[in-house]
Amino acid sequence: MVKKPWGWENRFAVTDKYLGKVIHVNAGEMLSLQYHRQKDETLLVVKGAMDLQLEDDRGQMQTHRLTPGMSRRIVPGRKHRMIGVEECEFFEVSSPEIDDVVRLDDKYGRQGTNTA
């Protein structure tokens, strides 16, 4: 388990073909506004509720409330951010590019391309 300023993540599968994580976001906390150059990911909420801010095809940010059983795909190049409306957990299954994170805005002071 890796502690993060917004909660924690636990990688349960790391292969040369895919990556699987369980991600826990504390209520009221958020991940950075970010995008991935290559990483293609799908999220599945299993506990609580989160708001997914996701860039649409016109470049506008849209907010989607996700609750248990709901999923969304995030394709490479799409800006996105997850916000814990309440304490929540979700599975993230993605292509294997672990270090492919470009941060655009981060309330914890982490900026730019980073893996922390």
Q: Region 76-85: what's the mean pLDDT?
A: 98
Half-sphere exposure of 64 (CA within 13 A, CB side): 20
CATH value at residue 20? 2.60.120.10
Task: Indicate the pLDDT class of residue 13, thresholds 50, 70 and 90.
Answer: very high
Shortest CA distance to 112 belongs to which of 30, 41, 32? 32
Identify the domain containing residue 63 by its residue range: 2-107
Look at residue 115 in the predicted model and tell me its pLDDT: 47
Task: Indicate the pLDDT class of residue 116, thresholds 50, 70 and 90.
Answer: very low
Q: Is 114 inside a domain boundary? A: no
Specify the number of domains making up the chain. Answer: 1
Look at residue 110 in the predicted model and tell me its pLDDT: 80
- Judging by DSSP bridges, how do beta strands 41-47 and 71-74 pair with one another? antiparallel
Shortest CA distance to 94 belongs to which of 64, 63, 72? 72
User: What is the per-residue pLDDT across 25-39, written as a single tens digit (0 to 9) for each?
Assistant: 999 999 999 999 999
**Euclidean distance between CA atoms 113 and 13, whole angstroms:** 23
User: What is the per-residue pLDDT across 26-80, written as a single tens digit (0 to 9) for each?
Assistant: 999 999 999 999 999 999 999 999 999 999 999 999 999 999 999 999 999 999 9
Question: Any idea what DSSP says for residue 49?
Answer: -
Q: Is 113 inside a domain boundary? A: no
**Euclidean distance between CA atoms 93 and 13, whole angstroms:** 9
**Euclidean distance between CA atoms 99 and 31, whole angstroms:** 15
